[in-house]
Amino acid sequence: MIEIIPAIDLIDGKCVRLSQGDYSRKKIYNENPLEIAKMFEDSGIKRLHLVDLDGAKCGKITNLSVLETICSSTSLVVDFGGGVKTENDFVSVLSAGAQYVAVGSVAVKNPEMFLLWLQKFGAEKILLGTDVNNRKLAVSAWQEATEIDIFDFLKGKIKQGISSVFCTDIAKDGMLQGASTELYSEITQTFPGINLIASGGISSINDIYLVKNSGCSGVIIGKAIYENRIKLSDLKEFL
């Protein structure tokens, strides 16, 4: 079975989606994220991927109150990321009710601090985010490209104890053109036992099957739900 994880991306406290991470290509879907979260919960979904796009862009958590509201008003298991830069940020996210802290840029730009968090809070509290463009990592809300190869990066983090990773292909994200299943297959074959969550490009139920066959344990779905390409009722077979 594959875990279905809908995404709520936040800008100014509203539920939005971007295309290929471009903040100028923003579409607002709902001004009340709690309404969306409850809709997911009512359909039988258990997990939620909550992204503070304001925080990711400016480097400081901005939508913590939305996390608190969703966690206190639903039973969804939430991972939260965007703007988590310090240990205090990490603690704040957990205190607000998140089960996992999604960490991406810090793991790349400040590996010493990331290792400290891993040792202090445990791998079970960290969801490592890897955003890739042509197999190279991008950080800081995708605004900064690197020359770091995803496989080299994952090899080091898995050695440190990381087991849960989500991977977003920037070229696919928000484009509804299918997921990077070849990349995901290569990752799961290279690192047996990795808990890999696919993100970006999901456009249909068939894409979910393809991702599942690539060895992923979960799939993050955003735009396809908001654009009614995938109906929540269609997801029941996976719940």
**Which active-site residues does the annotation give?**
9, 131
- For residue 238, give both structure tokens: 């996976």
Q: What are phi and psi of 224, to 5 degrees?
A: -60, -35
Torsion sign over Cα 52, 54, 60, 64: negative
* DSSP state at residue 83: S
CB 66 within 8 A of CB 76: no
Cα separation, 226 vs 231, whole angstroms? 9
CB 139 within 8 A of CB 104: yes
Cα separation, 230 vs 128, whole angstroms? 26
Nearest to 9 by CA among 58, 77, 67, 71: 67
